[in-house]
Structure 1
Amino acid sequence: MFKINKNSVLLGVAVLGILMTGILMAANANMAGSNKLLSFLKLNSSASVESIAQKAVGYLNESVLQEGQTATLVSAVEESGVIKFKIQIAGKDYDSYVSKDGKLLFPEGISVDLGIATQANQPLGTVTPVTVAKVQKTSLEAYVVSACPYGLQMQRALSNAIKAVPSLAEYVKVRYIGAVSGNIITAMHGDEEAKENARQIGIREEQPDKYWPYVSCYMEKATGKAANGMPYGDTEKCQQVAGVDVAKLDACIADPNRCLAYAKEDFALNAKYGIQGSPTLVLNGAVIAEKEFGGRSADAMRNIVCSSSLTLPGFCSEKLDTTPAATSFSVSYAPASSAIAASASTSPACAPVAVQ
């Protein structure tokens, strides 16, 4: 797994440790014998809200956070049947939750009130207006990794929108999530993904007219799996289909002043914006949630650009496909079934699970 920025991913590391511990506890609750890891919050029945929260923070400091980083308890209250506690790490506050018996820790709480039902009953393509700052020339950046099924979903939505209105391409740029170690590009899903990220970066920068034809082909079919199980597409075929100058691309990848430098620019922006998952959208220098504009559909991509433009581009009067794009590799733009389409309408993301 790659290292983006220790400070920016600190909470992610903590959250992962907490979540995995909770999962292990739930799965092993009925196992015989003792296990120190699974009983780090053994409490007596009279433990107070604050003492339970303090023990959770103690575990975080002892077993999860990196050396030199310390979480301090800010407050703790009982809420909705669990204990909500606020911690501070490096001057920033974060909310977490622990069960009242001290057996389960949760990284965050997700509201499931009736507002969700109202939203779910909106007609497809109906979007609550979102107010964003308008600029003369909008810049929409999508941060992805090439093997992530949700990153592919975002690229597919953009590709479909640009196919329908080619002029949209001048407002959009796909960037990649990763890191550089010893002049080698690394990625969250291993070497195969890192190599493909590098190829797509090289095509984007030095053969931009080939980028969307190549990516559109690459997303259609997985032709193999890496050792870690992540699928990858048909690079050789799609280079031919898109008319990529392979010799030029290979030279770019081999030259640290070209592809590697382009990748470093992407990765520096990862840190600047605190990018944590694939995909993440950045609109005019600010991270946004695509669900506020219609989700991961072709029309949502158009809507994002138009919502932030002082002078509306001509394509803003057009209506594109409002169906959420299919995830992962797919020949078709839309998911194959209504059940899969419903799943695709949510906004999950791939995220690193460890920092080295």
Structure 2
Amino acid sequence: MDEKDGKVEEEKKEVPGESKVKPEMKENVKPIKPVGEQGTLTEKMRANPWIISTLVLGIIVLILLVGNFSGGLTGGVVSGGVISSEAAGNTVLELANAQVGNVELIEVNEKSGLYEVVLFMQGTEVPVYLTKDGENLVGGLTPLSVLQDAQNTPTQQTPTEVPKTDKPEVELFVMSYCPYGTQAEKGLLPVVALLGDKIDFNLRFVHYILHGDKEDLENKRELCIREEEGQDKLNKYMVCILDSDNPQEPGDVSACEKEAGINSAKLQTCLNNKAEDYFAVDSALSEGYGVSGSPTLIINGVQSSAGRSPASYLVGICAAFNIAPSECSESLSSSSPSAGFGYNTGTDTVAQC
């Protein structure tokens, strides 16, 4: 039979919502609350028939599981274990009406070796797929071309709107061994280098640790470099250590400290005497902003949903200027770095630790 033409609405990927705090002193910063409300289930179902399809499929599968359907569809077998399209449509319709009610059968098509049983419910046409032997229901079909196009198209995330200032304050909260945190660092550092003193950038640390003692030590090492030597030297250290095959190797750490011009003796004194206090300050900020994952980018007090490529970070930060500088017109890589250590190309993601 001919496949019925139909329009399928694209399902848009949600981007984490914008969160805001009042522009007060950081000590008094309030937890960020997400802006915007989710639509009701009914609204989502009307906007996206595939949700309904999933629910219908779930209902029918439940019926099958409790024993109302055993040994495949009965009746209408043509040959070779293949049931007729009429039997497929009528049986699926009966099952749906028994549970949902007010369901109509529109048509039954053959599609990709399956029966496509098109039902009408709640003002929407809903396709349900059935194997031709009548034994199995199948979820919605996704053409391979769609998956290939999605794979080959870079993810473009729209940065959330943030307050504009003459000199944006940019804070990236990470944990040092979180692979997505290091991915964000590798994506953001080229932007920080490009914008220089036109922004106020600080690499900060979330208020929890997931990767053991090695992470606790490296967090504090980087905190001490930031506080005792300055963010610029920390940036140089980060560019080096992020390229390490084994960041726990003392030789790698020493080499990166030397490359960044860091006073190692001063750093050790800080680790022994001040690091805990520095971490406590960042932890308070992290909790105050409502940070719940590494990485989290805060621009002018607002959580940003900018993607992890240098180009996406540049767009997100430049949107926070009252008057964007000429550097905002520069072209940076639209490829996201790989997660973890090492400078490789990866895929854009919103994953966090």
Taking structure 1 as the reference length, the TM-score comes to 0.53
Which digits, 9 at most, give the CA deviation of each residue in 1:323-342, with x for residues without a partner?
A: 11122111x3x42xxxxx3x
User: Within the alignment, does 1:214 sit opposite 2:237 as a pair?
Assistant: yes
Alignment correspondent of 1:199: 221
Alignment correspondent of 1:244: 262
Alignment correspondent of 2:211: 189
Taking structure 2 as the reference length, the TM-score comes to 0.54
Residue 347 to residue 134, structure 1, CA distance change in 2 (3 Å):
same
Residue 128 to residue 301, structure 1, CA distance change in 2 (3 Å):
closer
Residue 349 of structure 2: which of 338, 346, 350 is its match?
346
Q: How does 1:137-148 map to 2 (within 5 A)?
A: 137-148=167-178
Report deviation, 1:169.
7.2
Alignment correspondent of 1:167: 196
Alignment correspondent of 1:325: 337
Q: How does 1:31-110 map to 2 (within 5 A)?
A: none
Q: Secondary structure at the match of 1:175?
A: strand
Counting aligned pairs with the same residue, the percent is 30
Counterpart Cα distance in 2 of 1:119 and 1:274: 36
Alignment correspondent of 1:60: none
Counterpart Cα distance in 2 of 1:201 and 1:169: 22
User: Within the alignment, does 1:315 sit opposite 2:338 as a pair?
Assistant: no
Q: Secondary structure at the match of 1:220?
A: coil
Which digits, 9 at most, give the CA deviation of each residue in 1:263-292, with x for residues without a partner?
A: 1111001111221211111121122222xx
C-alpha contact (below 8 Å) 1:324/1:345 kept by paired residues = yes
Counterpart Cα distance in 1 of 2:329 and 2:155: 15
Counterpart Cα distance in 1 of 2:197 and 2:315: 11
Residue 176 of structure 1: which of 193, 205, 209 is its match?
205
Alignment correspondent of 1:50: none
Report deviation, 1:168.
6.0
Alignment correspondent of 1:267: 283
C-alpha contact (below 8 Å) 1:281/1:289 kept by paired residues = yes
Counterpart Cα distance in 1 of 2:247 and 2:236: 21
Report deviation, 1:130.
5.0
Counterpart Cα distance in 1 of 2:166 and 2:299: 13
Which digits, 9 at most, give the CA deviation of each residue in 1:135-191, with x for residues without a partner?
A: 23211211101111111111111222234x151673321101235xxxxxxx22111
C-alpha contact (below 8 Å) 1:223/1:233 kept by paired residues = no
Residue segments in structure 2 that go unaligned for 5+ positions in a row: 1-30, 32-65, 67-98, 101-140
Letter in 2 for 1:162: V
Counterpart Cα distance in 1 of 2:251 and 2:305: 28
Report deviation, 1:220.
0.6
Question: How many residues in Structure 1 have an aligned counterpart in Structure 2?
Answer: 216
| RMSD of aligned residue pairs (Cα, Å) | 3.5
Alignment correspondent of 2:316: 304
